[in-house]
């Protein structure tokens, strides 16, 4: 490892993910086609997290933390409390939106495809694609926030470099492929199937 693990960087990654999300939702709310953009954003998020679920189901990488026994929740053994433990961990993950910097112990088995990077990348591209002309300055803030957030995740030791690069690459390709397939000239939109997606 070129840079030793920096524990403070994980919180920075979480904060920058939140800032990027707030900026992207602000852009969406100010957009004249906000419902269309919001549906697109959530559809792309669902596609990416569906892909992530498949990848995580078939791939396991050991946690990248040096002190993984102190940071990571232990693996669940099949016992009488198995179902309850899974439900509790799932609910915690959903309620915190995957942001884990405030927790004592975190889930550490979801490497190979960074969820933080998926969020940062989608929010970045939403800002690039949909920022109104009067708020172009937000685009200049989006790039450093996104790339500093991704860098913080790697420096923290919470994600491997490969893990965030794969997530960025896949998310960018899905985002731009979606927009290439479904963006049509305005005159063709009203009658086109799936034009409101």
> 3-state SS of 59-79?
CCCCCCCCCHHHHECCCCCCC
Number of domains in the chain: 1
Dihedral sign, Cα of residue 138, residue 182, residue 51, residue 172 = negative
Task: Name the token pair of 83.
Answer: 């179902």
pLDDT digits (tens, 9 = 90+) for 92-149: 655 555 656 555 655 566 667 788 899 999 999 999 999 988 888 888 999 999 999 9
When mean pLDDT is compared over 34-48, 51-65, 179-193, the highest value belongs to 34-48
| pLDDT higher than threshold 70 for residue 197 | no
Residue 127 falls inside a structural domain = yes
Lowest average pLDDT, out of 19-23, 46-50, 187-191, goes to 187-191
The residue written with tokens 């920075």 in the block is 12
Residue 172 falls inside a structural domain = yes
Which residues, 6+ apart, have CB-to-CB distance to 84 below 8 Å? none
Residue 103 falls inside a structural domain = no
| pLDDT higher than threshold 90 for residue 175 | yes
Pick the residue with more confidence: 106 or 155? 155
- Residue 154: band (very low, low, confident or very high) from pLDDT cuts 50, 70, 90: confident
CB atoms near residue 193 (< 10 Å)? 6
DSSP state, 192? S
Q: Which residues have a catalytic role annotated?
A: 116, 159, 163
Task: Give me the domain span that covers residue 27.
Answer: 8-64+109-182
Q: What per-residue confidence (pLDDT) applies to 180? A: 82
Report the pLDDT averaged over residues 39-48. 92
């Amino acid at each position: 490892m070129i840079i030793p693990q920096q524990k403070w960087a994980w919180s920075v990654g979480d904060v920058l993910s939140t800032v990027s999300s707030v900026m992207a939702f602000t852009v969406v709310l100010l957009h004249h086609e906000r419902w269309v953009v919001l549906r697109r954003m959530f559809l792309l998020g669902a596609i990416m997290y569906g892909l992530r679920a498949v990848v995580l189901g078939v791939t396991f990488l050991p946690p990248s933390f040096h002190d993984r026994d102190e940071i990571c929740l232990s693996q669940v053994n099949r016992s009488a409390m198995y179902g309850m433990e899974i439900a509790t961990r799932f609910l915690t993950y959903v309620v915190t939106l995957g942001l884990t910097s405030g927790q004592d112990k975190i889930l550490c088995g979801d490497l190979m495809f960074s969820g933080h990077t998926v969020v940062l990348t989608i929010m970045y591209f939403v800002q690039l694609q949909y920022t109104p002309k009067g708020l172009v300055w937000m685009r200049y803030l989006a790039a450093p926030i996104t790339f500093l957030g991704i860098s913080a995740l790697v420096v923290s030791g919470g994600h491997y470099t490969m893990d965030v690069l794969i997530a960025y690459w896949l998310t960018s390709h899905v985002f731009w492929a979606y927009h290439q397939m479904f963006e049509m000239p305005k005159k063709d939109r009203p009658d086109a199937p799936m034009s409101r997606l």
